[in-house]
Amino acid sequence: MSHQDIRSPHHMACGQPRLSATDMQAHMQHVVLNMPAPPCPAEMPAGIPQWIPGTFEGSSQVLVAFKSLELHENEHWLNRLACRMTALPGEQKPAGQLCHIELMLQVQPGQWHRFSINKKTCRHTETGKKEWLKGRVHCKHVRPESMREYHYCMLTANRAQQERMFSFLISQHNADFNFWGYVLNFFLPRWNSIGVKRWYPGIERLRKKWFCSELVCCALQAGGLCEDVPACCQSPNSMYRLCSRTSVGTGNPVLCADIRV
């Protein structure tokens, strides 16, 4: 689609009809849904497989996965605080209990990978001691035992939409954590301006900082989902409210019983 397809204020001033807000939103959604995915790098980052296009069993769904404080009593105190401050009164579990979010894509048939970012990641040294490293945007293969750790919302998205999500996430692989956006988000979410409000064409050429719900929301927007919300103002709790309204299935872990990993 050429640049002339999107009417600028200059074109409108020259006598062309002005689009209403509703028409402009529909037009931009059409642009996004018909936009080809940015090309993946010739050499993928270590540990990330090549994207396989085409349809196959289960290829029309993505999973938005949520970690709950109920399942992770030793969660970092900042995540526990953020979870409580973004809960709403009277919410039914797991809503109001969620402290982390990941996006799961079936990159190849039967091969699911999860994408997100943590503030810190833990690894064990050769002597058995824990070592905490700075968190970065990651892509990890989904193991069957790890799927029990999450609550899920299953969303419908075709392979072209998923490929745009994947290309965006790969472009941000190893990006740093957006700490101040994360902190401001659960104190003053409506006024948070430290981060990315929405996905936009060309963002793949930039390296941003992210927190988990901001990254996942922006990835879904790359595929034409969750377009009406500012990504940097989202929390795992708010994303669960949003995704559960349009989900074709929710649960833990029954939802994933038939998913091959």
Q: Which of 47, 30, 78, 56 is closest to 180 using CA atoms?
A: 78
Place of tokens 């899920």: 152
Residue 12 included in any domain: no
Which residue is associated with the tokens 């999500």?
A: 165
Residue 10 lies in a domain: no
pLDDT confidence of residue 123: 66
What separation in angstroms does the CA of 215 have from each of 5, 106, 168? Answer: 29, 18, 10
Total number of domains constituting the chain: 1
220 lies in some domain? yes
Rounded to 5°, the CA angle 184-190-195 comes to 55
| CB contact at 8 A, 103 and 165 | yes
pLDDT of residue 73: 62
Q: What are phi and psi of 41, to 5 degrees?
A: -60, 150
Query: Is residue 33 in some structural domain?
Result: no
Let me know if residue 7 belongs to a domain: no
Residue 19: the pLDDT is 47
**Structural domain containing residue 84:** 53-256
Q: Report, as ranges of residue numbers, the positions in the chain whose pLDDT lies below 70.
A: 1-47, 70-76, 122-124, 252-261
Residue 17 lies in a domain: no
In-domain check, residue 24: no
pLDDT tens per residue across span 89-144: 888 888 888 989 999 999 998 889 999 998 877 666 777 777 777 889 999 988 77
| pLDDT attached to residue 129 | 75
Q: Quote the pLDDT of residue 22.
A: 53
Q: Is residue 30 part of a domain?
A: no
pLDDT computed for residue 37 by the predictor: 53
Residue 12 has what pLDDT? 35
